[in-house]
Amino acid sequence: MLLRVASAYKTVSAVALQIITGTIPIDLLVKERAYAHYHRQEETREVKERARDNSLIAWQQRWESETLKAQWTKRLIPNITQWIKLTSACTAEKKTRQSTPYSNAQDGENRDSAYQELGRELTPETLVMTMITSDTAWKTTFNMIKTIMSAKEKEEMARQEREN
């Protein structure tokens, strides 16, 4: 299901997909709901916010300690809470999709073109924050990623044809 939501390849790890889609791991969600249930006598909204904050803190700690999987995603999205808040704000207007650019000379040309339009360098560490600064930045970055991913898909299809 998360593969469809993120429009990702099946090789993307569950850990990365949970981050990208903002899907809290089930064990943390269970703890969050148990906390809210235990504190149900208090102000409901405040309890739910505290419970969610606790979940996000635990999730961030888990994310920071992850050493084997989702390293590329971790470079793009180092802070889960910030990511969840930013994507929540964007979700009202857009469905968020993630891709993995950056590897060959063609990619460099696309990045340089985006740099000219945006006035800043796009790196894995700055990509997401740049993308959400404005509608123009979103479109420019999205178009760069779309161009790069189209080229990568063509390269992969050509590679597969050569192997067959």
When pLDDT is averaged across residues 130-152 and rounded to a whole number, the result is: 81
pTM of the entire predicted model: 0.57
Residue pLDDT, tens place only, 21-72? 888 999 999 999 999 889 888 878 889 889 999 999 999 999 999 878 888 8
Q: Where are the domains of the chain?
A: 1-78, 99-164
When pLDDT is averaged across residues 11-16 and rounded to a whole number, the result is: 84
pLDDT score, position 93 = 35
State the CB neighbour count (10 A cutoff) for residue 100. Answer: 16
Rounded Cα gap, residues 3 and 57, in angstroms: 25
Q: Looking at the predicted structure, is the pLDDT value of residue 11 above 70?
A: yes
CA dihedral 146, 111, 139, 77 (to 10 degrees): 80
